[in-house]
Amino acid sequence: MIRKILLALAAALAAMASPASAERVRDLGTFQAVRSNQLTGYGIVVGLDGSGDDNFAYLTEAMRGVSTRLGLQLPPGANPALKNAAAVLITADLPAFAKPGQRIDVTVSAIGKAKSLRGGALVLTPLYGADGQIYAMAQGNLAVGGLGVSGKDGSRLTVNVPTVGRIAEGASVERGVATGFEQADLLRWNLYQADFLTAARVRDAINARYPGSAQVEDGVTLALNMPTGADVRASMMADIEMIEVDPAEAAARVVVNSRTGTVVISSAVRLAPAAISHGSLVVRIDEDPRVVQPAPFSRGVTAQEESSQVDAQQMGGHVALFEPGASLAELVDALNLLGATPPDLVAILEALKQAGSLKAEMVVI
């Protein structure tokens, strides 16, 4: 009883001390023009200690291309069969408003039979955007967090992933991406998650600061009328991002991970009147075989006589009753009282959904 009183008091204090649910506009969404772009490239890592690709066809062709760019012409029939080089795929994100000369990080991943990229250096490689244009050039020494070693008997030890490395500031930007930020008639702001009520509240908050500047286009997008000019727009966007808005309550949803048994229940979940009974049937079988000896001079044989004892018990059997509009806390308390394990919890929630008592969307991943 004392424990229940203390828990109730702690919950009341937490509710009294909880801050307002207002969030900044910048935490609810982002401006459409302010986005990164993905870059990819195909290159060669050299300087490996025998852990590279061995006689890999497209590595050989790539080495011929690199050699040609450096002024070295390989004979047509020559096959380098290099184990100190590896064919790699380079990926990077080009930030919004990136300008030529700025540096960005790149990730380098082996795409062939290389065992490790530790100690390697990336040869100068162009990075392409989705439009096929070169936006950056990558080069540098790799930092590899993984380690792989092997013995002559075939035994092998691998720590983390030695075939993926990273080059901090390993690429220089050669071309920026036009965003139309300065001259576009409208700037669009997108919610991270679609919600008409939240979009309407953000619109009202922006119009309260800048009357008539925001309109809702759909459940995600707001169209903002702003004066032209980078300086004026940047100041206005910075002010808008710091406006506080009370977002709509999250949808009632129960997420079940079928592989791990993890169950996440949102605070908006409610229950219609329902009763839940949970118990487990325990069946116990004890075997006590006995050895039976034949009578003297009976020409019988020794035999084994089976002796079994079967017992069945119904464990638990508690019933939890939910009143109309029961909340998440009441649901969790009742299921804990029943001693439900994660698999039991999933079965109970599915049964409540089928019965029409669970007022929430069930998502199984």
Confidence of residue 93 (pLDDT cuts 50, 70, 90): very high
Check whether 322 has a pLDDT greater than 60.
no
Looking at per-residue pLDDT, the higher value among 268 and 307 belongs to 268
Q: What is the pLDDT of residue 349?
A: 74
Cα separations in angstroms, 230 against 97, 185, 239, 241: 12, 13, 14, 16
Phi, psi (rounded to 5 degrees) for 221? -105, 135
Answer positive or negative: Cα dihedral of 218, 222, 225, 229. negative
Q: Give me the mean pLDDT over the 63-69 stretch.
A: 62
Most confident of 198-202, 260-264, 287-291, 335-339: 198-202
Confidence of residue 90 (pLDDT cuts 50, 70, 90): very high
What is the residue extent of each domain of the chain?
37-173, 187-240, 253-294+303-364
Q: How far apart are CA 106 and CA 94, in angstroms?
A: 10
DSSP string, 324-351: TTB-HHHHHHHHHHTT--HHHHHHHHHH
Q: What is the pLDDT of residues 295-311, one digit of tens each?
A: 777 777 777 776 655 55
Check whether 105 has a pLDDT greater than 90.
yes
